Structure 1
Amino acid sequence: MLAALYPWTLTLHVLSFVAWMAGLFYLPRLFVYHTETAQNLPDRQELFGTMERRLLRGIMNPAMIATWVFGLLLLATPGIVDWHRVWPWTKAAGVLGMTAFHMWCARQRRELGQGHFRHTGRHYRLMNEVPTLLLIVIVVSVIARPFD
């Protein structure tokens, strides 16, 4: 049955991943604005907190969960993944890194929501590059497969 559903499972996996990535690109940018603006303008604190919370809970968390569910279904589909090759392992490392970054973002959102400004806007700008690097690892692993 999974083999027959493969095109749909793959489609839903890719769509979920795209939505997840969009959130991972945008949330750290919101942290930059939050840190650089809301610290001096308390009325903006609530606005940025609401935007960050809605993005994380309404888009990013469901997209991450869907990405994992459809990805695991792809793993369970016969003939899709050959664990003797390198690409599944590098992709898995990239996805685990992406999940860890997601959790880091959730922790930052919570801290900023409580008014704890531990990092600068520059720090969040640099952290905003992490999902790009992980995206490159994942896409190159799956499509180009340079190590196989």
Structure 2
Amino acid sequence: MLWIKTLHILFVTSWFAGLFYLPRIYVNLAQVHDASTKTCLIGMARRLYRFMLPLAILALIFGLWLFLGYGIGMGSGWMHAKLTAVILLIIYHLACGRMLKKFEHDTNTHSHRFYRWFNEIPVILLLIVIALVVAKPF
């Protein structure tokens, strides 16, 4: 089971790298007016998003494996809260995909300030998840 935990941590960390970086690309996209730079940034965002999806799936698969294998936190409040945060991260990931489509179709209506704030959401959710897993407060 320690190998499963190792792989879960690896894929969660890799997925989060994308969740931190993709909205940063959106900040730049919301500020740029040059067509060639926009094309380059959209290409970067598209490739990153495509790479993030299998990482997210693998993180979820190994997390589920741990949950079922260890029975960690079944019936515990902290696990329910953690799973809620994971669902919010999945929604955030999907929202990033929708935003990418808007940039691809040149229909983005948000400013770079919006994306700067949007970029903080996974940091807060990661802090919550880590605190819940380590402290198991309830």
The amino acid of 1:68's aligned partner reads: L
2:73 alignment partner, SS class: coil
Q: Tell me the TM-score normalised to structure 2 length.
A: 0.96
1:28 counterpart = 2:19: no
Offset at residue 117 of structure 1 (A): 2.1
- Displaced runs of 4 or more, over 6 A: none
The amino acid of 2:62's aligned partner reads: F
**Kept after mapping to 1: 8 A contact 2:99/2:108:** no
**Kept after mapping to 2: 8 A contact 1:45/1:113:** no
In terms of Rg, which structure is larger? 1
Offset at residue 20 of structure 1 (A): 0.6
Q: For the residues of structure 2 that align with 1:76 and 1:142, how far apart are their CA atoms?
A: 16
1:104 counterpart = 2:95: yes
The amino acid of 2:59's aligned partner reads: T
The amino acid of 1:84's aligned partner reads: G
Gaps of 5+ in 2: none
Q: For the residues of structure 1 that align with 2:36 and 2:29, how far apart are their CA atoms?
A: 11
Q: Tell me the TM-score normalised to structure 1 length.
A: 0.90
2:106 alignment partner, SS class: coil
The amino acid of 2:34's aligned partner reads: L
How do residues 56-67 of structure 1 correspond to structure 2 at under 5 angstroms?
Answer: 56-58=49-51, 60-67=52-59
1:68-99 superposed Cα distances (whole Å, 9 cap, x missing partner): 1101111220x441322211111101100100
Gaps of 5+ in 1: 1-5
1:103 alignment partner, SS class: helix
